[in-house]
Structure 1
Amino acid sequence: MTGGRLLAVSDLHVSHRENREIVKQLEPLSDDDWLLVAGDVAELTTDIEWALTHLADRFAHVVWTPGNHELWTHPDDPVQLRGEHRYRHLVEMCRGLGVTTPEDPYRLWNGPDGPVRIAPLFLLYDYTLRPPGAATKAEALAMAYKAGVVCTDEFLLHPDPHPTRDAWCRARVAATERRLAACDPGIPLVLMNHFPLVRQPTEVLRYPEFAQWCGTELTADWHLRFRTAAVVYGHLHIPRQNHFDGVRFEEVSLGYPRERRRHPSTRPLLRQVLPAPAGS
């Protein structure tokens, strides 16, 4: 049993100077604390490496899964790899830092209530979380372009060698589903993904057209099919706790400085996943 905590954060976006300073100040609560980093650390490989190196030096162990921003092929990035090749490059970078990735064995975290298995998931999205009135991907995209609400992924996140981002998503979902099904059902899982696994968190978005870049319907029952202690996600920049079907979902994003100035919060930046906080 460990005396530490399982903590989580996402959407650090360290290209913003204010966020970079916040990351410099992040500290574990004990020497045994683990940190889950649920994507969108930064866009440039140099910034991603800086942030994960810093966190890996501070915490007993770090687990990372990519967000969409890490997968961008940004024109200012010295690494101009695209799609799957960029993702694999980031995986190898993390392994060199001792950071667990979605391609590594799911690690056991031993808490006061027994072990849990940490499952970092990389699943992307497939345009099935469509806004009301859109029956197809084409209709959903047309509505987004008309509203002027278009994710930058459409220009910088390349799916190579997959034909489309949604095809890449379906391949990732199928492979991950098989892997989760093979896990020992006697040990509960902490599912960690950049995008929410269910549609409900996207229903509070100011622009419903953006939901199509926020996950897939294919994972809507995973928290029920697989024995799940908690689900951790980010992406929406709406940090909150929800319960769906009796399972706790934690949105753990830091987000952009302008969002924090507009909506200041007293919630701790590093969210405690386990042991489950009182009242959760």
Structure 2
Amino acid sequence: MKLYAISDLHIGVPGNREALAALPYYPEDWLIVAGDVGETIEQLYYTLDILTERFAKVIWVPGNHDLWTVPSPKEPQFKGERRYQHLVNICRNYGVVTPEDPYPIWPGEGKRTVLAPLFVLYDYSFRPDNVSAEEAVAWAEETQVVCADEFLLHPTPYASRSAWCEARCDYTEMRLNAVAPTDELILINHFPLRRECVRVNTIPRFSIWCGTTRTEGWLRHYPVSIAIYGHVHVRATDFLDGVRFEEVSLGYQRNWRQEKGIQGYLREILPGPQRPLTPGAVMWYK
């Protein structure tokens, strides 16, 4: 029995959609889907139809693309929190675990391990000290970088995405406080939980849309052994301060080798990598 993870399936890309349909069956294994299935409700249905047949259990967290409100006569025009809750209800109808459900316990051998799917956004805090939060978007725009979230990811009913992020952090901390310190904890989020994991070297100012510094303290305060994320489309395993960080994205067709199939990009989380990592080491995946 294994626990796998993948993110950023981007099923709106035809090659990704076809590759998902060809995914083999893993009837004894669990799968984490760490956000960005696609941009439409139809794409979520398509993906869950396949994955819930292929795996024993599926755990889902939303990505920013999933939360977009895309103008379309065929797409429900739900915004912000209402759209998120609509996605949660769809997942629950498939028996998929969401950030609103009790945290599942990994049934494998060894220490009791809690899997915590999270929905935590960003608050523009992944920025230089000399740039204020109010100036952050304009600072990024100076290099012709503006995330589509600014137009498509609505924070309704919150005043801003930062306010929504703060509310989600408050909610998440309340739930994580209930995890026993003797457990091992695996955190699952679409956005990176530590700034060092934001590898956007070609568009460095995109970092402001990649997470919040508030989550960095969780990695020290709670008994976290593994942190799983996607979003940046740079696949890697890092071992930092006793925590294994797994960026598990597939990405657009230019980001992965189609001959490997999606199965070639399923990251084994448990039992874990066959090659042990030393502190500070990085394992890259092409």
Q: Is 2:92 the partner of 1:95?
A: yes
Q: Deviations over 1:147-201 (max 9, x none)?
A: 1111000000000000000000000001101110111222211100000100001
Q: Deviations over 1:64-98 (max 9, x none)?
A: 00000010000125211000000000000000001
The Cα shift of 1:208 comes to 1.2
Structure 1 unaligned spans of 5+:
none
Matches within 5 A, 1:224-243: 224-243=220-239
Distance 1:244 1:204, change over 3 A: farther
Match of 1:147 among 143, 149, 152: 143
Matches within 5 A, 1:127-146: 127-130=124-127, 132=128, 134-146=130-142
The Cα shift of 1:225 comes to 1.1
**Aligned-partner Cα distance in 1 for 2:271–2:234:** 22
The Cα shift of 1:133 comes to 6.4
Matches within 5 A, 1:39-188: 39-76=35-72, 78-130=75-127, 132=128, 134-188=130-184
Q: Is 2:196 the partner of 1:200?
A: yes
The one-letter code of the counterpart of 1:86 is: R
The Cα shift of 1:21 comes to 1.3
Matches within 5 A, 1:261-280: 268-280=264-276
Please provide the CA RMSD for this pair. Answer: 1.9
The one-letter code of the counterpart of 1:190 is: I
Q: Deviations over 1:40-67 (max 9, x none)?
A: 0000011111102210111000000000
**Aligned-partner Cα distance in 2 for 1:237–1:123:** 18
1:113 and 1:275 in contact (8 A); partners too: no
Match of 2:18 among 8, 16, 21: 21
The one-letter code of the counterpart of 1:193 is: N
1:134 and 1:140 in contact (8 A); partners too: no
**Aligned-partner Cα distance in 1 for 2:126–2:168:** 17
Q: Secondary structure at the match of 1:268?
A: helix
Residues paired across the two proteins, number: 274
Q: Which position in structure 2 is the counterpart of 1:36? A: 32
**Aligned-partner Cα distance in 1 for 2:213–2:235:** 21
Q: Deviations over 1:195-235 (max 9, x none)?
A: 01000012553211100000000001212211112111000
Q: Which runs of 4+ in 1 moved over 3 A?
A: 264-268
Structure 2 unaligned spans of 5+:
277-286
The one-letter code of the counterpart of 2:215 is: T
**Aligned-partner Cα distance in 1 for 2:234–2:44:** 22
**Aligned-partner Cα distance in 1 for 2:256–2:10:** 13
**Aligned-partner Cα distance in 1 for 2:56–2:186:** 18
**Aligned-partner Cα distance in 2 for 1:192–1:257:** 24
Tell me the TM-score normalised to structure 1 length: 0.93
Tell me the TM-score normalised to structure 2 length: 0.91
**Aligned-partner Cα distance in 2 for 1:24–1:267:** 11
Q: Which position in structure 1 is the counterpart of 2:211? A: 215
